[in-house]
Amino acid sequence: MAHFSYTDLGRMDYKACWDLQEELLAAVIEEKRRRGGAVDRHHFLLVEHPPVYTLGKSGDENNMLIRPEFLEEIGATYYRINRGGDITYHGPGQLVGYPILDLEYYHLGIREFIGRMEAAIIGTLGVFGLTGGLREGATGVWLDPGDPVKARKICAIGVRVSRAVTMHGFALNVNTDLRYFGYINPCGFTSSAVTSFQQELGREVPLGEVKEVLREQFNDKY
Task: Please state, in angstroms and rounded to a whole number, the distance separating the CA atoms of residues 135 and 137.
Answer: 6
The secondary structure element, H or E, covering residue 122 is helix 110-127
Among this protein's residues, is 187 annotated catalytic? yes
Q: Would you tell me the crossing angle of helices 207-221 and 110-127 to the nearest 10 degrees?
A: 140
Burial of 129 (0-12, 13-18, 19+ CB in 10 A): exposed
Cα distances (angstroms) measured from residue 133 to each of 98, 108, 122, 124, 178:
21, 22, 7, 12, 20
Of 17, 187, 194, 207, catalytic: 187
| Secondary-structure percent of the chain, ordered helix, strand, coil, rounded to 5 | 35, 30, 35
Cα distances (angstroms) measured from residue 125 to each of 129, 135, 153:
6, 16, 12
Burial of 136 (0-12, 13-18, 19+ CB in 10 A): exposed
CA neighbor of 88 nearest in space, from 165, 192, 205: 192
Kindly report the number of other CB atoms within 10 A of residue 79's CB atom. 13
Catalytic positions: 187
